Amino acid sequence: MSGAREFLTALSRTLSTMGLYGDDHPAARRAVESAWSALHDLQGDTPGVQFTFLSGEVLVGDEVLPELEGWEWSDQLAQAGIERIEFLDRVDADQFDRLLGDLAVRLGIRSAASTDLRQAGTAPVRFGRVTLSDAPAGIGDSSLAVAGLSYALGDSREAVAWMHEEVRAGGKLPAAEADGVVRSLSLAMHAEQAMVMPLLQLKEYDQYTTTHSMNVSVLAMALGEYLELGSAMVRSLGLAGLLHDLGKVCIPEEILNKPGRLTDAERKVVQQHPAAGARLLLSNSDPLDMAAVVAYEHHIMIDGGGYPHLPDARGTQYASRIVHVCDVYDALRTRRPYREAWESERAIAYIEGRAGVEFDPAIARSFVAMMREWDRRVQTSMI
Ligand SMILES: [Fe+2]
Ligand SMILES: [Fe+2]
């Protein structure tokens, strides 16, 4: 990782120098050579390397580079539409020079006229915006493929599935992985200039809990941001959303994935998942209090319906009410063995109609307003 930091620092130094001097100035040549040699060292045995620049963070592959948190160049690159640089293979000195020229033009350091025409497609390097869909976003040159982020969400889904397996097998909740997933989801939401909601579509019924947990996490964070709750609270909501159904690991899979309606006895078993989830989260060495409360309360309706039964349903926590709305929305939007997925507008109308009965009225109203405003920005991806 230190090689990555050295390369990026050398790259930024080179781009600054290019802004001050001409290409042939000895200082510029020295800077270019040192950046190229840092890249050469970094690529070592594994020439494929990719950098992502997003809202004050730098990722190498899918790992955050903590030393460069708040690095001013990551914002500058991202704002210029360079959210990712991917090296597919080693680049020679000429290809590196051309890359620098292209980056300098994109950054506004120099004009396009002073740069040699790019030889499209010859360099094993590409850069552009991160996008969640397969469709390349227009970044001025169609020969530049745009890197996709869907793999990262795929990795997250596997991490969530693994997390559930660990807990099901009686292990501890891998809290660091849970935090990592929330962080990836948050990055994915802010990956584009305009915020998007990267919701996942279910491919297999047995993936329901993983897909659903990630979607509820994204929706809860989006609603938290919409309600201007502050970044620490938004992150906690993301974690609580991700873990709200953790107790389902205690439910036999035949019941969980039953292709049909549940019997009363089976429904009783399912209804134990809030308490089971809260217990698991509180038994963690570093108890996740807010997530535990949300796990316990997320099926409680404001009129006293739902489960588990509380003497005063109006006493549920604010975070639980947020996750409750997001939970129901995602459940309705998902195809189940016994019914088709609802269209977004139908699910939104359901939430609107049940405000004050099932849901906290103010939260439901905000959710409905947010979804109507953002529906066109919701991107679904199959992973
Ligand atoms: Fe649940
Ligand atoms: Fe749920």
* Distance from residue 35's CA to the centre of ligand 1 (Å): 51
* Distance from residue 281's CA to the centre of ligand 1 (Å): 14
- Nearest Cα neighbor of 173 from 66, 283, 250 is 283
In terms of residues, how long is the chain?
383
Extract the runs of DSSP E, i.e. beta strands, from the chain. Answer: 49-54, 57-60, 63-64, 84-87, 125-128, 197-200, 378-381
- Is the Cβ–Cβ distance between 128 and 50 less than 8 Å? no
Backbone angles phi, psi at 148, to 5 degrees: -105, 155
* Distance from residue 150's CA to the centre of ligand 1 (Å): 26
DSSP letters of 110-121?
Answer: S-GGGSPPP-TT
* Distance from residue 209's CA to the centre of ligand 2 (Å): 8
Residues of the chain with confidence (pLDDT) below 70 = 55-56, 111-123, 129-152, 191-198, 201-206, 313, 375-383
As a whole number of angstroms, the distance between CA 335 and CA 342 comes to: 8
pLDDT on residue 114: 47
Task: Give the ligand at the shortest distance from the Cα of 278.
Answer: 1
Task: Give the ligand at the shortest distance from the Cα of 298.
Answer: 1
Task: Give the ligand at the shortest distance from the Cα of 209.
Answer: 2
Cα angle 141, 76, 27 (rounded to 5 degrees) comes to 90
Structure tokens at 213: 């947990």
* Distance from residue 342's CA to the centre of ligand 1 (Å): 18
Residues with CB under 5 A from ligand 1 (ion): 245
* Distance from residue 151's CA to the centre of ligand 1 (Å): 27
As a whole number of angstroms, the distance between CA 112 and CA 115 comes to: 5
pLDDT on residue 2: 78
* Distance from residue 110's CA to the centre of ligand 2 (Å): 52
- Residues contacting 40, CB < 8 A, separation 6+: 90
pLDDT on residue 145: 30
Task: Give Cα 12 distance to the centre of its chain.
Answer: 27
* Distance from residue 324's CA to the centre of ligand 1 (Å): 9
pLDDT on residue 110: 72
Task: Give the ligand at the shortest distance from the Cα of 295.
Answer: 1
* Distance from residue 230's CA to the centre of ligand 2 (Å): 24
pLDDT cut 70: percent of the chain above it: 83
pLDDT on residue 379: 55
pLDDT on residue 163: 92
For the chain, give the longest Cα–Cα distance.
80
**Cβ atoms within 10 Å, residue 122:** 10
pLDDT on residue 117: 39
Give the model confidence (pLDDT) of 8-26 as tens digits. Answer: 999 988 888 887 777 777 8
pLDDT on residue 78: 79
Q: How far is CA 200 from CA 150, 187, 333, 381, in A?
A: 10, 15, 11, 5
Task: Give the ligand at the shortest distance from the Cα of 329.
Answer: 2
* Distance from residue 152's CA to the centre of ligand 1 (Å): 25
DSSP annotation of 339 reads: B
Task: Give the ligand at the shortest distance from the Cα of 327.
Answer: 2
As a whole number of angstroms, the distance between CA 110 and CA 327 comes to: 49
* Distance from residue 55's CA to the centre of ligand 2 (Å): 30
Task: Give the ligand at the shortest distance from the Cα of 297.
Answer: 1
Task: Give the ligand at the shortest distance from the Cα of 331.
Answer: 2
